[in-house]
Amino acid sequence: MDTKQGILSSVLWTIGASGLPRVVAKRKAGQGGILAFHRVYRSRPHEFGSQSLSTTPENFRRIIQTLVDRRYDFLTMSALADRLLAPEPVQEKFVCLTFDDGYADNYTEAHRICQEFGVPMTVYLVSGFVRRSYPMWPPGLENVLAANRVVEFTWKGRKARFGAHTMAQKRRAYWAITSFLAVAQPREIRRVCAELGRRYGVDFMALTDRNTLTLAMIREMRESGAVEFGAHTVRHLYLSRLTDALARREIVQSKRDCEALVGAEVRHFAYPYGDAGSFGSRELDMCSKVGFRTAVTTDSNTIFASDQNRLLALPRLTYNGRYQSTPLLDLLLSGTLPALRRVLRGRSTSAAVTNALPLAGSGAASDFRGMPPG
């Protein structure tokens, strides 16, 4: 655990023990929340991206047990849309368990645990990953940095060079390179993956195959009746940086691809990265026209009755694996962390503080430390 993580963990424990969440929940908990996960997996020290995206199987089981004991209703996204649009409000609190990207451990771990408790889950598939036609690049980047003391590649005609001698340097390099790739065009991402693969002997596509759901897993999950699938684009690109034609293809084609993979209509969508800069009215209109019933963001908030008016831009509560040993679940579902983040964002000095709270924030993009030159 690094120093910043240790400090933030202490802050979360202090807030949790203060009684503040019980007070805040009276106004900010709403009807419930959409919990956003990625992996149910025990990450290793060099898997820098996976550390924040992963919840251990033991902790995930504990989360479900806690919610069951508190008598939460577990809803799919279809059931949530029905509830929000119902003429009469439902008093019971609810949660939706959502998983982004389509990691294989959504089947081997998350689905198995959800089946034990008889609760549903919603999985948003990146069709290019599942079809093995586009590299899921974070695992490959983690492996490159783990095995090398210096990492170099060409970026926009210039050599980019990152020292990676220590674990701290590797972590900084990972997030710096991620800030480049997250907003890059698909050809550039593919080119960088190919260059890194050749230079450092890492097979990005083999790692994609190892880490991603298979067709058989998807079909078994659907046939269980407990898993609903949604689309998460074709290549997990930052939609707002794309041309109209390319953004439309990412949304429309992902729906078609996922329907072919699942063998059923797909009515739900998750915006890649999901922060306020990653999508806008253009993407909302595209989702509406293609027939999505709901779309989720990583805007951190609980769900209120008024959210029936923004079914294509619903907020979620991102569960950050770096803080799973803290009272994170209570701080999210009570609305405490989302409210704190909004307060900090509204202050003139909020930028540094807000960026120090990725657990309450807007997904992977909240961890970026800068943007590439040019």
Residues 278 and 172 placed together within one structural domain of the fold: no
Domain membership flag for residue 76: yes
SS (H, E, C) the chain: CCHHHHHHHHHHHHHHHCCHHHHHHHHHCCCEEEEEECEECCCCCCCHHHHHHEECHHHHHHHHHHHHHCCCEECCHHHHHHHHHCCCCCCCCEEEEEEEECECHHHHHHHHHHHHHCCCEEEEECHHHHCCCCCCHHHHHHHHHHHCCEEEEEECCEEEEEECCCHHHHHHHHHHHHHHHCCCCHHHHHHHHHHHHHHHCCCHHHHHHHHECCHHHHHHHHHCCCEEEEECCCCCCCHHHCCHHHHHHHHHHHHHHHHHHHCCCCCEEECCCCCCCCCCHHHHHHHHHHCCCEEEEEEECCECHHHHHHCCCEEEEECCHHHCCCCHHHHHHCCHHHHHHHHHHCCCCHHHHHHCCHHHCCHHHHHCCCCCCC
Residues 363 and 217 placed together within one structural domain of the fold: yes
Domain membership flag for residue 72: yes
Residues 78 and 176 placed together within one structural domain of the fold: no
Q: What is the pLDDT of residue 343?
A: 85
Q: Which has the higher per-residue pLDDT, 322 or 105? A: 105
Residues 26 and 159 placed together within one structural domain of the fold: no
Query: Domain ends where: 152, 181, 210?
Result: 210
Domain membership flag for residue 82: yes
Q: What is the pLDDT of residue 1?
A: 63
Indicate the pairing of strand 158-163 with strand 150-155: antiparallel
* Rounded mean pLDDT, 346-372: 39
Residues 243 and 318 placed together within one structural domain of the fold: yes
Residues 246 and 360 placed together within one structural domain of the fold: yes
* Rounded mean pLDDT, 192-216: 97
Q: Structural domain of residue 155, as residue ranges?
A: 135-210
Decide: residue 2, CB within 10 A, 0-12 exposed, 13-18 middle, 19+ buried.
exposed
**Mean pLDDT, rounded, of the chain:** 91
Least confident of 37-51, 272-286, 293-307: 37-51
Query: Domain ends where: 182, 210, 238?
Result: 210
Residues 192 and 222 placed together within one structural domain of the fold: no
Alpha-carbon distance of 308 to 281, in angstroms, equals 17
Residues 28 and 98 placed together within one structural domain of the fold: yes
* Rounded mean pLDDT, 228-255: 98
Domain membership flag for residue 372: no
Number of domains composing the chain: 2
Q: In this structure, are residues 318 and 301 in contact, taking their beta carbons and an 8 Å threshold?
A: no
Alpha-carbon distance of 32 to 114, in angstroms, equals 19
Residue 344 has pLDDT above 90, yes or no: no
The 10s digit of each residue's pLDDT in 66-102 is 999 999 999 999 999 999 999 888 889 999 999 999 9
Residue 333 has pLDDT above 90, yes or no: yes
The 10s digit of each residue's pLDDT in 266-289 is 999 999 999 999 999 999 999 999
The 10s digit of each residue's pLDDT in 101-150 is 999 999 999 999 999 999 999 999 999 999 999 999 999 999 999 999 99
- Given pLDDT bands bounded at 50, 70 and 90, which one contains residue 374? very low
* Rounded mean pLDDT, 26-48: 94
- Given pLDDT bands bounded at 50, 70 and 90, which one contains residue 342? confident
Residue 74: strand pairing partners: 95
Domain membership flag for residue 149: yes
Residues 267 and 222 placed together within one structural domain of the fold: yes
Q: What is the CATH number of the domain that holds 220?
A: 3.20.20.370
Q: What is the pLDDT of residue 371?
A: 30
Q: What is the pLDDT of residue 6?
A: 86
Domain membership flag for residue 71: yes
Query: Domain ends where: 210, 233, 248?
Result: 210
Q: What is the pLDDT of residue 2?
A: 72
Query: Which tokens go with 19?
Result: 């009684």
Domain membership flag for residue 374: no
* Rounded mean pLDDT, 307-331: 95
Q: What is the pLDDT of residue 347?
A: 59
Residues 282 and 299 placed together within one structural domain of the fold: yes
Domain membership flag for residue 352: yes
Residues 175 and 216 placed together within one structural domain of the fold: no
Residues 139 and 122 placed together within one structural domain of the fold: no
